[in-house]
Amino acid sequence: MDKSKTSEYVGYRLLSNFFFNIYKLISRFSNWFLRLSQKINFEEYKLKFGEREDDIYIVTYPKSGTTLMQMILYHLTTEGNMSFNHIYDVSPWIKNASFKRQEPIELPSPRIIKSHDFYKDFPKSTKGKFIYVYRDGMDVAVSHYHQQKNYNRSNLEFENFLRTFFKNKSWFKHTKDWLRNKKGFPILYVRYENLINKKEEEITRIVKFCEITPTKESIERALKYSSFSYMKKNEEKFGDQPEKSKKIFDQFIRKGKSGEGTRYFTEHQKEKFIKQYEKMVKKPETRAFEKEALINH
């Protein structure tokens, strides 16, 4: 390469890097502004939605059985009309609705509200009760992996997914804080594994905790319409809501089993999971849960 070409080459390189760095800076800022705007929008949404003493929040780490619990509670607290288009029409995920700039919907009491929020995001003064549904973290990871692969990144490898899962530690943080319950919220803890294996017993606990008096028919409906087979068959009423062009309506209600984690995780990954779990979650403050360990392994 002659001398004049070399300086031309260096010039292009510098200019290209310069504009690329500006692009990166703007992207970072625009993401920051987007998050800020979503946060403020959510505050406004909550003001309009209001709070009620008898609100029931179903809080979970994603893929822990949220929708199943929404269905159970919907039937226990209403006449069980199944003509809704999507479960969010009767049991809203308010953060998601606010992100989509939807208006809050008017619902009778008690309102069944879905949330994946972290414990710190709920002020101590929050009205209502909480049901925290938790599930073996390795099974959660497998379920979440499939959701991401099916809806967002078809070429995602499990190993890459797990790398982020371990790096951001969000399952561990979410579980730890909700189990510790430092603010003393009224919380009923329900294990996904118990919900699928002894649903009737769990329904008895839920009814008592929520202080509701469902009829025999409502309980029968709750059992019937929250069955895996019914929900799978009617997935469009429950599943993720991708844009029309990318619609996949058969993977949100996927397998509904426990124990997949042990098959997907290698021995090394299991050890890593258990180590992190013992470091962050299995603490004296969460001792109440030791007799019913949070993981099956």
Catalytic center residues: 116
Contact in structure between 99 and 36 (CB atoms under 8 Å): no
CB of residue 70 to ligand A3P, shortest distance in Å: 8
Nearest CA to 141 among 242, 257, 265? 265
CB of residue 235 to ligand A3P, shortest distance in Å: 9
Does residue 63 interact with ligand A3P by CB under 6 A? yes
Give the span between the Cα atoms of 282 and 49, in whole angstroms: 36
CB of residue 17 to ligand A3P, shortest distance in Å: 42
Alpha helices in the chain (DSSP H): 3-49, 66-77, 94-99, 137-151, 158-168, 170-180, 192-197, 199-210, 216-225, 228-233, 260-264, 267-280
Nearest CA to 46 among 118, 120, 122? 122
Instruction: State which residue, 100 or 127, has the beta carbon closest to ligand A3P.
Output: 100
Does residue 91 interact with ligand A3P by CB under 6 A? no
Which token pair is 69? Answer: 């619990």
Q: DSSP assignment, residue 93?
A: B
In this chain, which stretch among 9-17, 61-69, 95-103, 168-176 interacts with ligand A3P, using CB under 6 A? Answer: 61-69
Does residue 146 interact with ligand A3P by CB under 6 A? yes
Does residue 141 interact with ligand A3P by CB under 6 A? no
In this chain, which stretch among 18-26, 62-70, 180-188, 202-210 interacts with ligand A3P, using CB under 6 A? Answer: 62-70
Non-local CB neighbours of 28 within 8 Å, separated by 6+ positions:
none
Applying CB under 6 A, among 7, 9, 17, 62 the residue interacting with ligand A3P is 62
Q: DSSP assignment, residue 114?
A: E
Does residue 254 interact with ligand A3P by CB under 6 A? yes
Instruction: State which residue, 31 or 229, has the beta carbon closest to ligand A3P.
Output: 229
Does residue 255 interact with ligand A3P by CB under 6 A? yes
Does residue 64 interact with ligand A3P by CB under 6 A? yes
What single letter denotes the amino acid at residue 240? D
Give the span between the Cα atoms of 169 and 166, in whole angstroms: 5
Does residue 60 interact with ligand A3P by CB under 6 A? yes
HSE at residue 167, side-chain half, CA atoms within 13 A, is: 6
Q: Which CA distances in Å does 202 have to 45, 52, 93, 207?
A: 32, 25, 23, 9
Applying CB under 6 A, among 56, 58, 59, 65 the residue interacting with ligand A3P is 65
Does residue 75 interact with ligand A3P by CB under 6 A? no
CB of residue 75 to ligand A3P, shortest distance in Å: 12
- φ/ψ region of 278 (left if φ > 0, alpha if ψ in -120 to 50, else beta) reads alpha
Does residue 68 interact with ligand A3P by CB under 6 A? yes
In this chain, which stretch among 40-48, 209-217, 227-235, 283-291 interacts with ligand A3P, using CB under 6 A? Answer: 227-235
- How many residues touch ligand A3P (CB under 6 A)? 19
**Using CB under 6 A as the criterion, which residues of the chain lie in contact with ligand A3P when the complex forms?**
60, 62-68, 143, 146, 196, 226-228, 231, 253-256
